[in-house]
Amino acid sequence: MKIYDWPTGPYPARVRIALAEKNLRSRVEFVTVDLYKGEHKEPEFLAKNYSGTLPVLELDDGTLIGECTAITEYLDALDGAPVLTGRTPREKGVIHMMSKRAELELLDAISVYFHHATPGLGPHVEIYQNAEWGFRQRDKALRGMQYFDRVLKAQPFVAGEFFSMADITVIGGLIFAGLLKVAVPAECDSLLAWYARMQQRPSVRNRIAMSEPTAASA
């Protein structure tokens, strides 16, 4: 398998964490796509992913899977023992709901702030920017942090009693926020404590090191 990504990217981090949680690192070859050079918007890459976004999973038969949720679903199901996306209908429903909320209320909002209210990926890539919209989305992300703080006051993980794809999505949002110096509000003590725990997980701590040469792809 191949993963097309950018090593420090918040969205690629979601798949890298999933790979580590499923012990699949040795089966993957990482292919770097330079975001700052706009390689993800070039025709060669758009042929792999119409959306022009990272990451993308390429299977040995040439199948291409984009979108972090879809990639994680595939990886989690490979061994017939899903642990990140849910085992029962109830678990699956709650995990997917909370992961989607994490995208809408935190990760994607931070992404819009990055692309519209900061230099983003530079003038070669950022063809249109609306700073007012970007700052509105930053404020939405801060409200999202407060929401997840309330969630984590009541339970140990974002979707309940165990680590899941929903936690990975929130982690991606906080990685992005950290890169942009958007601090988690100090009053969000439960979210901050949870994130400190998450940063101690080997899958989170070592995600960038995965770019080092690995065994041949399966």
pLDDT at position 114 is: 98
Provide the pLDDT confidence category of residue 99 given band limits of 50, 70 and 90.
very high
**Do residues 49 and 24 touch, judged by C-beta distance below 8 A?**
no
Mapped onto helix, strand or coil, the DSSP state of residue 168 is helix
As a whole number of angstroms, the distance between CA 96 and CA 68 comes to: 12
Q: What angle do CA 197, 199, 203 make, to 5 degrees?
A: 115
Least-confidence region, from 64-68, 80-84, 196-200, 208-212: 208-212
pLDDT at position 102 is: 98
Kindly tell me if the per-residue pLDDT of 218 is higher than 70: no
Kindly tell me if the per-residue pLDDT of 64 is higher than 90: yes
Domain ranges of the chain: 2-83+204-211, 89-201
Provide the pLDDT confidence category of residue 211 given band limits of 50, 70 and 90.
low
As a whole number of angstroms, the distance between CA 131 and CA 38 comes to: 21
For the chain, give the percent of residues with pLDDT over 70: 96
CATH number for region 89-201: 1.20.1050.10
As a whole number of angstroms, the distance between CA 138 and CA 217 comes to: 39
Q: Which residues contact 89 (CB under 8 A, 6 or more apart)?
A: none
CA-CA-CA-CA torsion sign (111, 58, 170, 34): negative
Give the mean pLDDT of 111-121: 98
Kindly tell me if the per-residue pLDDT of 216 is higher than 70: no
The domain over range 2-83+204-211 is classified in CATH as 3.40.30.10: yes
**Residue appearing with tokens 């809408």:** 104
Kindly tell me if the per-residue pLDDT of 214 is higher than 50: no
**Do residues 200 and 10 touch, judged by C-beta distance below 8 A?**
no
- Residue 65's DSSP bridge partners are 57
